Structure 1
Amino acid sequence: MNTSSFNFFTPTKLIFGPGKLNDLKEIAPNYGQKCLIVSRPKKGSLKNTYLRIEKLLNSVDIEVFYFDEIVPNPTLEGINKGVAIAAENKVDFILGVGGGSVMDSAKLIALLYESKGVIDWKAAFSNYDHPFSFIKSKPSSLPFLAVSTTSGTGSQCTQAAVVSDTKNKEKITLFHLDLFPKAAIIDPELMLTVPDRVTAATGFDAFTHAFESYLGGRTSPLTEQLSLQSIKLVIENLPKAINEPNSIEYRTSLAWADTIAGICLSNGGADIPHPLGEIIGGICQRIPHGETLAMVYPKFLNYKKNIAIDKFETIANYLGLEKKPEAFVNKVIELLNITSLSESLEKAEINDLEKNEILSHPLLKNLDPKNEQTIFDIMNHSINP
């Protein structure tokens, strides 16, 4: 552990715990009197949550507008529409209520907001392309608040947001410090109704954030300990939450694992699986992000265990396993099997045309030119086992 030199940053105020949604009426008035709620369909599975939030905001004289057309893997067109609605209603702040796709959408609507309702995507892609660069704030950007309803993306405490370019079949990640929420409410009570498949995919996503950031060169004493804690929490509690979805204990453990993994990701960054997963997800937009990660992880682990031996051994020891890289690899494979994420490739039904598009994607060559063949082999063997 390097304690002599490191950076650590997390500016979001976190409001964590069962019942904490009620704190929204104390927080929201600090950011204005007109709010755009960004969400999945207003009359969908979370309709009671949206109604509760609307009543909380109305109780402190905040006028509420909705943009409830968020889809999995949000698109450029969707963000354009959200900014147009925000501009039309002259809102003061954005409130994202949902999982990763909602959070990414709300973040981008807030960051890229212009009073005329038109986004300069060319400038956004050019300026916001590095996770650890400092780019000054846009005067027109709006404050963003987050209410999480899943445990996995960590988006409530990162400086990143992903958007899909459906025309070019790409997923693009933008980075800016203003993509951190001003405040985030993580209330595990809102996660009790999350379906098993979503619980599995998002929970595994949280695991990958903790693990991949731990592998990198930007760790700190803080993030190393948080990563280890998150990894253990997911491995121990994800199968339990799937078997007992109404357990507030297991949901709280996963919500905390997700939150601290997001903090680690925002400080340490991701490894190969995330860009590989985004390639798959960009071409096959029907596949949830966590499931694309599950597809590539077995091959990635077999590759990485011979490179990061010490870190694999440390994690294995922390989990109470035999202090060998293979012991940790086997534990992750066991997790994939227990959660049925090992069936992700079969469920995805990726056709030959899609496989060819995936394997010819330029990022496979450009991600790390020195390891081009290795990266190609990981992807190829992941989708052609």
Structure 2
Amino acid sequence: METCKTFQMPPTILYQQNSFEQIGEKAELLGKKALIISDQIMQKLGYVEDCQQKLSDHSVDSVAFLGVASEPNDQYVEEALQLYQDETCDLIISLGGGSCIDTAKAVAVVATNGGNIEDYVGMKKIAQIAPVPHIAIPTTAGTGSEATDVTVITNSATKVKMMIKQPAFMPNVAIVDPLLTLSSPQKVTAATGVDALSHAIEAYISKKSHPMTDMMALSAINLISKNLHKAFTDGQNIEAREGMSLAALQAGSAFSNASVCLIHGMSRPIGALFDVPHGFSNAMLLPAILEYSKDACIDRLADIGRIFSSEAKHLSDEDAAEVAVQSVKDLCKSLDIPNLEQWGIPRKEFVSALSKMSTDAIDSGSPSNNPKTPSKEEIAELYQICYEYQF
């Protein structure tokens, strides 16, 4: 019997300018004392203090964990969990980029279900008990983690990014306030924006796509094509920021239900071994992998090409698919996306890591969702192409 298509989102999503103002109102319905999982940048910007004041106005106590300093790893999860337990909290609020949100998801599940976060990889341990209530507040327009049941945590010992997907990781509430993204630096805007584009494109070309995810993915691609470069060149363009926040939310919902593909499968090992932020590693791979996959998904890429260019509406599917690939390349170039060599990854170390990265990519399961499924040897070859790829 064929598996039914499903579509899951957070039970409550607040999306509009100034929706952050409602954090206290939503929090008091879920708990009495919140652990805010954030980082030093959010503290310096005043977002953490603002959040705590809004909580206090609604009689919700709080304590902040500000130790998320890079891509999320199991050590952050352990440290935040310990603070949660020591302070007898009953609610978790994530405030920041995808790293803060993913860390919070892991803490929320492990706090009630026990074990270590690595126990949940591959459904070896399934969360049977409801997680700690979690309110996710993104301050970047990229990961879409506020709307997914996925968390990606690096195993510090094995240097593998663990992609963990279970319904329990879905936040209870997502508060998407475009005003919070005005503080994103230009490079972060570029990287997170292409991350959202990667989510949307992969959701659309995934073997697991279905009508609901298609709708979200195509809408996200349309918004990104119109707004990403504007947000990059003028970070205070609130209309562009609003478009990107909605796009990231839609793209996150799409890939959470349709799964990601080869780009993400290859991206995670780069991040784990060479400390490349997730958005950048996706962006570095996106154009070359679209070129590799094109022949197996011409019709879908043609749809994307016709979003990027009105002139492509009159072209054949083959030509419109090429417009899609070229448009993505042009966008990455306009956003100053570097290749792996330009990022500063030493060639010798990169070549030495090819076998491990290729194995880890396949083991993640994501490449099997790609329209064209690569062998380990093909993945290694793609890594080498991407190392000095010219956008």
Structure 1 counterpart SS, 2:239 = helix
Verify the 8 A CA contact 2:122 2:164 in the aligned structure 1.
no
> Which residue of the partner structure matches residue 382 of structure 1?
386
1:123 to 119, 123, 140: 119
Cα distance between partner residues in 2 of 1:121 and 1:305? 36
Verify the 8 A CA contact 2:341 2:388 in the aligned structure 1.
no
Structure 2 counterpart SS, 1:31 = coil
Alignment of 1:137-148 (within 5 A): 137-138=128-129, 141-148=131-138
Residues 294 and 42 (structure 1), Cα distance of their counterparts in 2 relative to 1, 3 Å cut: closer
Verify the 8 A CA contact 2:265 2:362 in the aligned structure 1.
no
> Which residue of the partner structure matches residue 80 of structure 1?
78
Residues 333 and 128 (structure 1), Cα distance of their counterparts in 2 relative to 1, 3 Å cut: farther
Alignment of 1:19-34 (within 5 A): 19-34=18-33
Verify the 8 A CA contact 2:268 2:361 in the aligned structure 1.
no
> Which residue of the partner structure matches residue 54 of structure 2?
56
Q: Do structure 1's residue 90 and structure 2's residue 88 form an aligned pair?
A: yes
**What's the offset of the Cα at 1:164?**
1.3
Unaligned residue ranges in structure 2 (runs of 5+)? none
Q: Which is further off, 210-219 or 373-382?
A: 373-382
1:360 to 330, 340, 355: 355
Q: Which amino acid aligns with 1:372?
A: K
Unaligned residue ranges in structure 1 (runs of 5+)? 130-134
Cα distance between partner residues in 2 of 1:384 and 1:247? 33
Q: Which amino acid aligns with 1:12?
A: P
Verify the 8 A CA contact 1:38 1:67 in the aligned structure 2.
yes
**What's the offset of the Cα at 1:114?**
4.9
1:371 to 350, 359, 375: 375
**What's the offset of the Cα at 1:325?**
1.1
Q: Which amino acid aligns with 1:120?
A: N
Q: Do structure 1's residue 283 and structure 2's residue 273 form an aligned pair?
A: yes
Report runs of 4+ in structure 1 exceeding 4 Å deviation: 364-370
Q: Do structure 1's residue 330 and structure 2's residue 326 form an aligned pair?
A: yes
**What's the offset of the Cα at 1:370?**
6.2
1:350 to 345, 350, 353: 345
Verify the 8 A CA contact 1:37 1:64 in the aligned structure 2.
yes
Residues 42 and 231 (structure 1), Cα distance of their counterparts in 2 relative to 1, 3 Å cut: closer
C-alpha deviations, 1:62-91, integer Å up to 9, x for none? 111111110221221111011111011110
Cα distance between partner residues in 2 of 1:161 and 1:168? 17
**What's the offset of the Cα at 1:21?**
0.7
Q: Which amino acid aligns with 1:138?
A: I
Verify the 8 A CA contact 2:15 2:176 in the aligned structure 1.
yes
> Which residue of the partner structure matches residue 40 of structure 1?
39
Verify the 8 A CA contact 2:231 2:240 in the aligned structure 1.
yes
> Which residue of the partner structure matches residue 290 of structure 2?
301
Q: Which amino acid aligns with 2:287?
A: P
Verify the 8 A CA contact 1:75 1:163 in the aligned structure 2.
yes
Alignment of 1:180-259 (within 5 A): 180-259=170-249
Q: Identity of counterpart residues, as a percentage?
A: 27
Q: Cα RMSD over matched residues?
A: 2.1
Structure 2 counterpart SS, 1:181 = coil
Per the normalisation by structure 1, the TM-score is 0.91
> Which residue of the partner structure matches residue 68 of structure 2?
70
Verify the 8 A CA contact 2:203 2:217 in the aligned structure 1.
yes
Cα distance between partner residues in 1 of 2:124 and 2:18? 35
Residues 357 and 90 (structure 1), Cα distance of their counterparts in 2 relative to 1, 3 Å cut: farther
Cα distance between partner residues in 2 of 1:250 and 1:29? 32
Verify the 8 A CA contact 1:227 1:264 in the aligned structure 2.
yes
**What's the offset of the Cα at 1:237?**
0.7
Residues 166 and 314 (structure 1), Cα distance of their counterparts in 2 relative to 1, 3 Å cut: same
Structure 2 counterpart SS, 1:35 = strand
**What's the offset of the Cα at 1:236?**
1.6
Q: Which protein has the bigger helix share?
A: 2
Cα distance between partner residues in 2 of 1:338 and 1:370? 29
Residues 365 and 55 (structure 1), Cα distance of their counterparts in 2 relative to 1, 3 Å cut: closer
